[in-house]
Chain A
Amino acid sequence: MIPVASMVDDDAAMAAAVRAIPRLERQTFESRALKSGLLTTLTWAAALLAAVPLFSVLYMLVVEGGARIDLEALTALPPAGFEQGGGFGNAIVGTLLMVGIASAIAVPLGIVAAIYLSILGAHTRVARVSRFLAKVLTGLPSILAGVFAYAAVVLWMGSYSAIAGGVALGMLMLPTVVLTAEEAMKEVPQRMKDAAFGMGCTRSQVIWSVVLPTGLPGILTGVMLAVAGAAGESAPLLFTALFSNYYVSEMVEPTASLSILIYNFSAMPFDNQISLAWAASLVLVFMVLIINILARLIGQPKV
């Protein structure tokens, strides 16, 4: 039996001890909590504010460009000066053509280079140097790709052309394709490769039958992101493809593109041209965002 008196003493001691413990629960108006709350509010504000431009751009595109979009705008030739109506059909064709040329150059070259970087010679000196240069090239100002294509293709062929534009865009796509394809192929589990080697496959057979099919979603994501980026580029086309008021009929002639049309029309003092610039922007952004979203859906890890 515990004596009653000592129990009372214990209670008193316990109460004193409890009082001595600092209050550990969160105090709303303590300076630390206030500071934390203030910074949290600021962060929320910054995050919400950062989303405003995207919605503002989309709103302007839909309101200003949506009003002008019709079949004529999508198919007709660009209007001159005070002319009314018109469209940018030749620019859509030109953009698709040049992105096509760029992809035909950059995609095969990029994927095969990525095969070397990720599997065949991952740690060789060639691989280290070209991986580093590919990373540096992702930061290459797009206008310099245009300067390069001008010096290499336009001066050589003696004319502005869709090919020169395609080369400039391909130069910009290449590093993205290489680096994302390399990442995607590195993700392929080693045991799958080992199994194929164990069956007596050569390295090429392992790559073609195991690594490429398995890494395909990731590779496609990279390719589509590169295509979306190239479709929106304008600086490299300024003095490689130039612009043209007609549909493209041969490869070696100035070629129209959506982005250059927007640039040219945005500076004109005519309302008709400016509303066409908005409509062309809507088409361009729509194309780019659709490719972007598709790329994300393909590349999503399957859970």
Chain B
Amino acid sequence: MARHQFNISRSADSVSAPPSSRELTTDTVFRGIAWICASLIIVLTACLLFKIGAQAVPAIRQHGLGFIFGTTWDVSRETFGVLPEIWGTLYSSFLALLIGGSFGVAIAIFLTQEFISPRLAAIFRTIVEMLAAIPSVVYGLWGIYVVIPMLRPISEFLNAWLGWFPMFSTDLAGPGLAPAALVLAIMILPTVAAISVDAMRRIPYKVKEAAYGMGTTRWEAILKVMLPTASSGILAALVLGFGRALGETMALAMLIGNSNQINLSLFAPANTLASLLASSFPEAGQIEVQALMYAALVLLAITFLVNVGGLAIQQYTVRKFEGKR
């Protein structure tokens, strides 16, 4: 009998061998580096909070909670309040969610419920994803030269006939809330559509078969079975889309008109926290920068809460369909 092959650690025709001590050291060092990189994400997030927070401390001391409920932003008198900006941020994002959300969910249904062949669906999906790839500033430019001129006659008509209704109480003189919200809706549509498609795809195929087997029409199946089953995923899509809308900056800074007022009218200029930062920061002096840091902190808090809420719902959806991992 030949000697047992496994006793020879480096035989001619095998590459297997126990690691040398040098390889073991390299392994330990590399694993250490990987751990550091992973922890760096945590450190970086903490750093982000700390840096913005530290810069905002003087303004927080000086203005306190009055900052959030104040309505004037006057550098010369050093009075700062961001209530109009908070209102504008929430109002524009809400309008964008209303439009972008309904279109996004409709597209998710369109892509997942056999309206078109899978090949065409893939192409259409790419088109929707390309909407997300176009830079915000290009949407801003497009909004100025396409959306505002397009909306102006509509706003004049609505204001003339329905001017008593608070949402149409002004017409569109130039930039304003409506073009900003419309462009914002286009920008969040891909987010809502992508997460909703994901939610619809998670529904087991047998659920749909069971519905059709009961003799439902396509839309009875969608409305009474598919949508309720995917509801938590779609809710996550809407919340995360809302989060996107809250933080969107450039297109809004170019389209919303940067005017500190609280107005229900769709066609009046308004302002958002992000576009306040974008338009005031580059030219701000010491005192105003501190106030702007406070505003940044408020924006950070709002988006953080909305995003964590959306992620929690999404997590819940995944667990519901895949069991706890």
Contact = CB atoms under 8 A, between A and B. Distances in A.
Contact of A54 (B127, B307, B311): B127
A177 to B, nearest CB: 11
B48 interface: yes
Count chain A CB atoms within 10 A of each CB in B51, B133, B292 and give the residue with the most: B133
A289 B219 contact: no
Closest 6 CB pairs of A and B: A141-B247, A232-B135, A202-B27, A139-B307, A235-B249, A116-B38
Interface stretch (B65-73, B204-212, B298-306): B298-306
B133 A228 contact: yes
A121 B38 contact: yes
Nearest to A138: B307
B47 interface: yes
Given A113-B37, A152-B51, A235-B278, A51 B124 contact: yes
Interface stretch (A7-15, A30-38, A79-87, A215-223): A30-38
B300 A144 contact: yes
Contact of A144 (B135, B217, B299): B299
A133 B49 CA distance: 12
A288 B133 contact: yes
B174 to A, nearest CB: 11
A32 B146 contact: no
Interface string B267-298: 00000001001100110000000001100100
A50 to B, nearest CB: 5
A202 B34 contact: no
A284 B300 contact: no
B142 A57 contact: yes
Contacts of A232: 133-138
A234 B250 contact: yes
A188 interface: no
Given A129-B42, A151-B54, A200-B16, 10 more contacts: A50-B131, A64-B145, A109-B40, A133-B42, A143-B278, A199-B16, A228-B133, A262-B140, A281-B137, A284-B137
Given A54-B131, A232-B137, A141 B249 contact: yes
Interface of A: 24, 32-33, 35-36, 39-40, 42-44, 46-47, 49-51, 53-54, 56-57, 60-61, 64, 109, 112-113, 115-117, 120-121, 126-127, 129-130, 132-137, 139-144, 147-148, 150-152, 171, 174-175, 178, 198-205, 207, 228-229, 231-235, 238-239, 242, 259, 262-263, 266-267, 277-278, 281, 284-285, 288-289, 292, 296
B220 interface: yes
B42 A130 contact: yes
A98 B299 CA distance: 26
A167 to B, nearest CB: 10
B308 interface: yes
Contacts of A174: 41, 44
A54 B134 CA distance: 8
Contacts, number: 254
Contact of B219 (A35, A46, A115, A205): A35
Interface string B236-269: 0000100110111110011000000000000000
A263 B38 contact: no
Nearest to B43: A130
Contacts of A112: 33-34, 37
B62 interface: no
B39 interface: yes
Contacts of B145: 60, 64
Contact of A53 (B131, B217, B299, B307): B131
Contact of A126 (B42, B240, B247): B42
A148 B145 CA distance: 32
Interface of A is mostly: helix
Given A51-B124, A53-B131, A174-B44, A202 B26 contact: yes
Given A60-B145, A152-B47, A289-B133, A46 B138 contact: no
Nearest to B124: A47
B97 interface: no
A239 B276 CA distance: 13
A262 B41 CA distance: 32
13 contacts: A47-B115, A56-B142, A113-B40, A141-B274, A143-B299, A144-B48, A175-B41, A204-B27, A205-B27, A233-B135, A263-B253, A266-B144, A292-B133
B214 interface: no
**Which of A109, A147, A202 has the most chain B CB within a 10 Å cutoff?**
A147
A268 B70 CA distance: 32
A152 B47 CA distance: 9
Contacts of A46: 102-103, 106-107, 110
Contact of B299 (A44, A120, A141, A231): A141
B45 to A, nearest CB: 5
Contacts of A266: 137, 140-141, 144, 254
